[in-house]
């Protein structure tokens, strides 16, 4: 895998394998007890309990490493000493192993993510790669390393959407999280500057992120924004203003009692007949100490138009096919078609990409839908891990959505047309009986041409097909359904590049 993913046994134990927490998410709180064993006459000692929010409330930026003692990439990063370096130079003043000249603004916490790991394994016990407490001779790790019990480890894994080891997060004092990856000590500390200063003024509201839909089909659109109280006093009121092209198009208000670093979502007034575009969001409160964090921008994409209710989904994955999945959802949010997520995984990164057979999806005419493709690792399906791509194509062969370079998810909106394929051709085609039990009959009028008739499932797989040449007059093609599973299918007739389609149910 691109990183070391969880084993099936861990997944069965209840550990989530979703993509990591998105940048800008609020870090959940946790408390862990460090296990540090010093090889001395003092025997085994413990550095005590560590609560994330306690350090954040003191203004520290916390680097969190969730690893496993059996994980090779985790061990290699541990040996690099990156976390030890940043802890020694910037950790809490007076803490073990921290320099007297520390900047005193960073905390490091390492957590064993496999809840089945015994304490002895931390000291090069059975199943471990090495001595995690003393990875190199005479060099005992000073920052807290915790080996939580199974339930606590799984809770942290689920709360933080841990999908692979190691996962290294930077958590700012305002509780906002971002995965930073396996950086060296200097690079880690450089990311601290991206954190806002700790709360210091009584009133300071921030626009944390835009939470409205980033695709829109048609009609009214409802914007929303997540705000945060960066003030030392409770936030009781705030106003949200949304503009487009300099004109106010929506407003919203917050009222309540939001504690320091608390977050809330503000739903704003709908924008009538919205056709997409760039939105500028500004949030304010009385006596606001800083305007620098009051704004956030968003671009909402308008829906593409398909010529009919039939669309074809084409997917070429990168080298890691099992990380890719897609869905089509209707305007109510219900999934009406889906695929991927269970392709064979190309674990070596050398075996090439997986090409999905084109999937023909039959939708309701004149409706709004969203197509969503996800990558569980969080880096899309292109580039250094194989140039994958996706496309959504309408019945005329026009691409209405395409891409491949995204993070965890790419969502596109589209509207289906009023007619399915060619209306006149559809009238000349008849499928009977419908529902069918033993066979499906397809009748049509031929006009001195070559015809291809097929019975397909809703994923575009051909169940049966017949190709005929130089036909003229009334034709009837029959397909046996004796070994065909019950369900909905599609009958297609193709002539001179035009495909006529009708649905049939096999009972």
Q: pLDDT at position 444, please?
A: 87
Burial class from Cβ neighbours inside 10 Å (0-12, 13-18, 19+) for residue 61 reads: buried
Q: Is the pLDDT assigned to residue 76 strictly greater than 90? A: yes
Q: pLDDT: is 486 or 203 the higher one? A: 203
421: Cα within 13 Å, side-chain hemisphere: 23
Cross-strand pairs, 229: 205
Look at the alpha carbons of 158, 162, 168, 174 in this order and tell me if their dihedral is positive or negative.
negative
Q: Is the pLDDT assigned to residue 16 strictly greater than 60? A: no
At 123-170, the pLDDT tens digits run 877 777 899 998 988 888 999 999 999 999 999 999 999 988 999 999
Domains along the chain with CATH numbers: 4-194 (3.40.30.10), 205-302 (2.60.40.10), 304-415 (2.60.60), 423-506 (2.60.40.3080)
Determine the Cα–Cα distance for residues 222 and 369; give it in Å rounded to an integer.
17
Q: pLDDT at position 501, please?
A: 75
Structure tokens at 253: 């208000």
Look at the alpha carbons of 65, 66, 70, 72 in this order and tell me if their dihedral is positive or negative.
negative
Q: pLDDT at position 449, please?
A: 83
Mean pLDDT of 9-37: 69
Confidence class of residue 11 from pLDDT cuts 50, 70 and 90?
very low
How is the beta sheet containing 310-316 ordered, strand by strand?
Answer: 359-362, 310-316, 389-394, 399-403
Q: Is the pLDDT assigned to residue 38 strictly greater than 70? A: no
If one counts every other C-beta atom within 10 angstroms of the C-beta of residue 301, the result is: 15
At 406-423, the pLDDT tens digits run 988 999 999 998 755 444
At 192-203, the pLDDT tens digits run 999 999 999 999
Q: pLDDT at position 9, please?
A: 38
Q: pLDDT: is 302 or 492 the higher one? A: 302
Sequence-ordered strand ranges (E) for 259-346:
263-267, 277-284, 295-302, 304-305, 310-316, 324-330, 335-340
Determine the Cα–Cα distance for residues 316 and 432; give it in Å rounded to an integer.
36
At 294-348, the pLDDT tens digits run 999 999 999 999 988 889 898 999 888 888 999 999 988 899 998 887 665 444 4
Q: Is the pLDDT assigned to residue 77 strictly greater than 90? A: yes
Mean pLDDT taken over the chain: 86
Structure tokens at 492: 């297609």
Q: Is the pLDDT assigned to residue 42 strictly greater than 60? A: no
Determine the Cα–Cα distance for residues 400 and 411; give it in Å rounded to an integer.
12
Tell me, yes or no, if the pTM score tops 0.85: no
Q: Is the pLDDT assigned to residue 40 strictly greater than 50? A: no
Q: pLDDT at position 390, please?
A: 95
Percent of the chain with pLDDT over 90: 58
- In order, the DSSP letters of 92-151 are -TTSTT--TT----EEEEEEE--TT--GGGGBT-TT-SSBSSSSBTTB---S-EE---HH
**DSSP state, residue 438:** S
Percent of the chain with pLDDT over 70: 89
**DSSP state, residue 6:** P
């Amino acid at each position: 895998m691109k990183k070391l993913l969880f084993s099936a046994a861990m997944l069965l134990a209840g550990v989530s394998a979703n993509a990591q927490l998105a940048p800008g998410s609020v870090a959940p709180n946790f408390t862990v007890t460090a296990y540090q064993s010093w090889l001395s006459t003092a025997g085994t000692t413990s550095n005590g309990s560590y609560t994330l929010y306690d350090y954040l409330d003191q203004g520290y930026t916390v680097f969190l490493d969730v690893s496993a003692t059996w994980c090779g990439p985790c061990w290699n990063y541990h040996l690099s000493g990156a976390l030890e370096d940043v802890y020694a130079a910037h950790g809490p003043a007076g803490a073990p192993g921290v320099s007297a000249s520390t900047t005193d603004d960073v905390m490091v916490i390492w957590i064993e993510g496999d809840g089945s790991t015994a304490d002895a394994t931390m000291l090069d016990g059975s199943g471990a790669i090495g001595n995690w407490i003393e990875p190199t001779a005479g060099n005992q790790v000073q920052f807290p390393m915790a080996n939580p019990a199974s339930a606590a480890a799984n809770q942290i894994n689920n709360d933080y959407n841990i999908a692979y080891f190691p996962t290294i997060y930077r958590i700012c004092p305002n509780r906002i999280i971002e995965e930073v990856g396996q950086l060296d000590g200097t690079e880690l500390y450089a990311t601290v500057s991206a954190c806002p200063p700790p709360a210091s003024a009584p009133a300071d509201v921030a626009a944390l992120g835009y939470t409205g839909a980033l695709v829109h089909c048609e009609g009214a659109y409802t914007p929303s924004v997540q705000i945060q109280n960066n003030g030392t006093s409770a936030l009781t009121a705030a106003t949200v203003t949304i503009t487009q092209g300099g004109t106010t198009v929506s407003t919203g208000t917050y009222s309540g009692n939001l504690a320091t670093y608390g977050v809330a979502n503000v739903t704003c007034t709908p924008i009538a007949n919205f056709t997409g575009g760039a939105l500028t969001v500004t949030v304010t409160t009385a006596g606001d100490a800083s305007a620098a964090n009051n704004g956030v921008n968003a671009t909402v994409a308008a829906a593409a138009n398909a010529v009919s209710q039939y669309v074809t989904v084409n997917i070429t994955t990168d080298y890691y096919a099992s990380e890719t999945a897609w869905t089509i959802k209707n305007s109510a949010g219900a999934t009406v078609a889906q695929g991927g997520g269970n392709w064979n995984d190309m674990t070596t990164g050398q075996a090439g990409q997986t090409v999905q057979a084109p999937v023909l999806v039959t939708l309701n005419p004149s409706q709004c839908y969203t197509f969503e493709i996800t990558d569980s690792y969080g880096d899309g399906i292109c580039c250094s891990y194989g140039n994958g791509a996706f496309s959504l194509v309408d019945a005329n062969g026009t691409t209405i959505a395409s891409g491949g370079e995204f993070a965890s998810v790419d969502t596109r909106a589209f509207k289906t047309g009023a007619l399915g394929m060619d209306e006149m051709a559809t009238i000349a085609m008849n499928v009977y009986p419908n529902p069918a039990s033993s066979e499906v009959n397809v009748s049509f009028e031929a006009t001195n041409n070559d015809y291809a008739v097929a019975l397909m499932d809703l994923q575009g797989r051909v169940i049966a097909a017949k190709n005929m040449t130089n036909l003229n007059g009334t034709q009837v093609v029959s397909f046996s359904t004796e070994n065909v599973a019950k369900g909905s299918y599609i009958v297609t007739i193709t002539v001179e590049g035009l495909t006529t389609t009708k649905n049939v149910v096999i009972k």
